[in-house]
Amino acid sequence: MKALMQNMYALLRAVDSCLELNLTIPALILLYSGIDTIAALEQGRADRNAFTKWVDSYLLASKTLPCSALDLYAARCGVLHTLTSDSDLARSAKAKRILYALGKDDPTKLKAVVDLLKGEPYVVVSVRDLHEGFRLGLAKFIEELETNPTREARVVKSLQRWFTHLPAAHVDGILNASRRTEG
């Protein structure tokens, strides 16, 4: 669980930094990648089903947003693959396109402007609300794991494959120990 806490804390700090610097697209990329990563822990793979299940169970259960888990998955596809709101799900009208309100901007004002255009159906999501939903959902997810040893064991097994930070001093120590046993 240490790797989970370290990596997710680092990811959340990176999102915070991006938002402070008004780097919205990188913040969204990190958020959607974070959701993919956490959702894959129990499922063993990152896919639409794992993503939408996690979003419904944790993110949207923790923070009300004007969209569905499938809308967020479609938005994730658009942002990660083309830096747009375009996705196969949006083009086939199976999911709504998402526009993002930035910073402390009022999402209802942006929604009013979108409605005036009378074009495709869009929903407006505050990036800060999406970030808060992920943060709260992550906390709920971790809390549930700590009370369910079977789920925690399944997640810990997945965590064994995660990248973690290994300080150079540890690498040197391993190499030195290896050389001593060879000699």
What digits encode the pLDDT tens for the residues 105-132? Answer: 777 787 778 777 777 778 999 999 999 9
Q: Where are the domains of the chain?
A: 2-182
Residue 104: is its pLDDT beyond 80? no
Instruction: Give mean pLDDT, residues 20-25.
Output: 94
DSSP 3-state percent helix, strand, coil across the chain (nearest 5): 70, 5, 25
Question: pTM of the predicted model, to two decimals?
Answer: 0.86
What digits encode the pLDDT tens for the residues 135-182? Answer: 999 999 999 999 999 999 889 888 887 777 777 887 888 888 888 877
Strand partners, 126: 101
DSSP string, 120-172: S-EEEEEHHHHHHHHHHHHHHHHHHHHT-HHHHHHHHHHHTTS-----HHHHH
Report pLDDT for 117: 75
Residue 55: is its pLDDT beyond 70? yes
- 5: CB partners within 8 A, 6+ apart: 142
Report pLDDT for 32: 98
User: What is the percent of the chain where pLDDT is above 70?
Assistant: 98
